[in-house]
Amino acid sequence: MTRERTDFWVGLFILLGLIALVFLALRAGNMSSFSFAPTYRVAAHFDNVGGLKVRAPIKSSGVVVGRVAAIGFDNKRFQATVDMDLERQYQFPDDTSASILTSGLLGEQYIGLTPGGDDKSLKDGGEIQFTQSAVVLEDLISKFLYNSAEKQGSAPGSPASNPAAPAASAAGKPPGQGAPAAAVVQPGAAAPAAPHAQ
Amino acid sequence: MITGLGAFARLFGAIVARSSVLWRRPRLTAQQVHFIGNHSLLIIGVSGLFVGFVLGLQGYYTLNRYGSEEALGLLVALSLTRELGPVVTALLFAGRAGTSLTAEIGLMKAGEQISAMEVMAVDPVRRVLAPRFWGGVIAMPVLAAVFSMVGIIGGWFVGVMLIGIDPGAFWSQMQGGVDVIKDVLNGVIKSVVFGVVVTLIALYQGWTAQPTPEGVSRATTRTVVNGALAVLGLDFLLTALMFAN
């Protein structure tokens, strides 16, 4: 084979490899969702970040507006500090609230931003004041048991020997767990914990 | 075995030390990329296609039990880019390109061509081994990428065309779950490491083969066996390093 023909086939080979890599990166991978848009950094403090990871999406109204840049621990306030990179084209009011939500039932966790009504906007280096921590499954369960134990206690029966109560009161009511958890607990409260008391 | 390992390491050092042949006589390396890479494309491509088909089928049957058929794209892509692409390509590479390298160099030795080069003051490691080493190292990641791409297309064909999974779900779940850095790049790094190891083993076995027909035959067998063992062992090591949480 002449030199030029060999070079041609080798060149074609390398080109095929590059095409394969580009295909993998763009069509199979998530590179098309890499945004090279300029961002500004905002911090928020949470009591519990749950399973939030770095590079988790930050969504507002379900649309990705940024990514989590870093997760750290503030030793003075004993809270988790989450640094977020928000795209510069999206401005949020100063009283925006951030909550850690789960996509689907058992999916990945992300931060959801709910805009407030303030005129001033968050700037680079600003901080989100209103936060809601992740829902921890164990707290949810103990809350459920505590609630059903309360229901047992208020009915005529023996509230004293109820094994659910000590466990629930030990876990306590975690601060900041808002309405959604209680609403889930109330409807199905009574029946499942019944066998213990009786 | 320990002396063998030492000789292996010394040959590795000798080849890397003569890497200047890459830019002084690039044509030698280009020719080797052609012999090693282009001539492997057919087997890699067809194997990739069929592995993709099988992944699509088996993946569908298993995911169907849990109602998650839409995740087939993700399953096929992750299996290929993380593991099957680099490893199966390396095994096929050891079988096809590795044995041909070993046989070629073993027969050069048997035909006293290496000694003739030394007599002519041509460094045989520089003239013969180094271009083949770099040819293998360049060809392997390319072949692994082609394998993964063809496999994903094969999985798409079986899943979307034959079985009827929604194509939007197929691609979007894949794009959402395959990370370019953690999955694709790690797969490329694996394939480069495998390329180095398999090519080196092939060259070493050829270089130290007995200059007889049985010697060459035993050397090619050792290339495939040692190469396969090394690839699978390194794959476990690299996976533990790269994908640990």
Cβ <8 Å between B37 and A13: yes
* 8 A C-beta contact, residue A150 and residue A191: no
pTM for the predicted model, two decimal places = 0.73
Cβ <8 Å between B175 and A27: yes
Whether the CB of B72 is below 8 Å from some CB of chain A: the reply is no
DSSP state of A156: S
In the structure encoding, which two tokens stand for residue B107, read together? 């027969």
- Buried b / exposed e over B131-154, threshold 16 CB at 10 Å, is bbbbbbbbbbbbbbbbbbbbbbeb
First-to-final CA distance of chain A: 91
Q: Give the closest residue to B153 by CA, choosing from B80, B93, B89.
A: B80
* 8 A C-beta contact, residue B106 and residue B7: no
Give me the residue from A10, A12, A29 closest to B175, CB to CB. Answer: A29
Cβ <8 Å between A16 and B148: no
What is the Cα–Cα distance from A18 to A16, expressed in whole angstroms? Answer: 5
pLDDT at A160: 46
Whether the CB of A73 is below 8 Å from some CB of chain B: the reply is no
Interface of B with A in 11-40 (CB under 8 A): 27, 30-31, 33-34, 37-38
pLDDT at A6: 85
What is the Cα–Cα distance from B71 to B59, expressed in whole angstroms? Answer: 9
pLDDT at A32: 57
pLDDT tens sequence across B177-226: 888 888 999 999 999 999 999 999 999 999 999 999 999 999 999 999 99
Interface of B with A in 153-212 (CB under 8 A): 171, 174-180, 183-184, 188
Rg (CA), chain B: 20
DSSP state of A145: H
* 8 A C-beta contact, residue B102 and residue B209: yes
pLDDT at A79: 92
Give me the residue from B30, B38, B176 closest to A30, CB to CB. Answer: B176
ipTM over 0.85: no
Residue type, B12: F
* 8 A C-beta contact, residue B22 and residue B134: yes
CA B111 and chain centroid, separation: 29
pLDDT tens sequence across B120-141: 999 999 999 999 999 999 999 9
